[in-house]
Structures are given as structure tokens and as C-alpha cells.
């Protein structure tokens, strides 16, 4: 099960708009995906799960992806988090 550590650079972190966009992105893929921070794990396809992680800019999270399109999902999700918003 591919796992990758990412330091969040997007916006102020996984709140409000970035969280909604991240979840939308995760839902585009068949693969299951999760984000882990400080021992807590949230389903990346669930806005509530992501919001209650409280991941801020600078937080290092662990992305875990599993499924048919896992590689593409992993790349997309990792790049989303690692890239400062335009």
C-alpha cells in the first residue's frame, strides 16, 4: 500500500476551500485514500474527516492510497498538498 509523507504548502492548510478541493480531487479516483496526522487518520474522500484533522500549512502528513489508479491518485493528491496555491 503506497504511502508518502507530504508537507502541506497549500494555502493555510486543509481548511475550508482547500479541504473541499482536496476531497473533490480524492473522489475523482477509484482508489481509497487517507491522510494521517499525529496518529489520527482521515478518509481523504470525506470532507468532515479532513476538516477535523486540523492539518495546517507546514504540517507533515502521511498519504496512503490503495486501488487501481493508486499511482495517479497519489501523484495528484501529493502535488495538491505540496504546491502553494496560485
Partner 1 sequence: MQPDELTAQPEVAAASTDMSVARHAAAGLSELLNTDTVRLHVHASTPNEVIDRAGGLLFAEGGIEKRYIEAMKGSLVANGPYMVIVPGLVLLHARPEDGAVELCMSLITLDPAIPFGNPDNDPVTIAIAFAATDNKGHLDALASLTTLLGNETAMATLRASDTVERALAAIRAGSGPEPSVSGSVTGGMRNAAG
Q: Is 15 a catalytic residue?
A: yes
Minimum distance of partner 1 from residue 74's CB (angstroms): 18
Residue 75: how many other CB atoms lie within 10 Å: 12
Contact assessment for residue 35 and residue 63, using Cβ atoms and an 8 Å cutoff = yes
**What's the CA angle centered on 63, arms 68 and 25, to 5 degrees?**
65
**What's the CA angle centered on 79, arms 31 and 58, to 5 degrees?**
115
Minimum distance of partner 1 from residue 1's CB (angstroms): 14
Chain contacts with partner 1 (rule: CB under 8 A): 16-17, 19-20, 32, 38-43, 45-49, 51-54
Minimum distance of partner 1 from residue 47's CB (angstroms): 5
Q: How far is residue 14's CA from residue 70's CA, in Å, rounded to a whole number?
A: 21
Of 39 and 84, CB closest to partner 1:
39
Of 39 and 86, CB closest to partner 1:
39
Active site residues: 15
Amino acid at each position: 500500500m503506497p504511502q508518502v509523507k507530504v508537507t502541506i504548502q497549500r494555502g493555510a492548510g486543509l481548511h475550508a476551500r482547500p479541504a473541499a478541493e482536496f476531497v473533490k480531487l480524492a473522489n475523482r479516483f477509484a482508489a481509497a485514500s487517507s491522510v494521517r496526522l499525529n496518529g489520527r487518520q482521515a478518509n481523504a474522500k470525506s470532507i468532515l474527516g479532513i476538516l477535523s484533522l486540523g492539518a495546517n500549512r507546514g504540517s507533515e502528513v502521511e498519504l496512503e492510497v490503495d486501488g487501481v489508479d493508486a499511482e495517479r491518485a497519489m501523484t495528484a493528491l501529493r502535488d495538491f498538498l505540496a504546491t502553494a496555491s496560485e
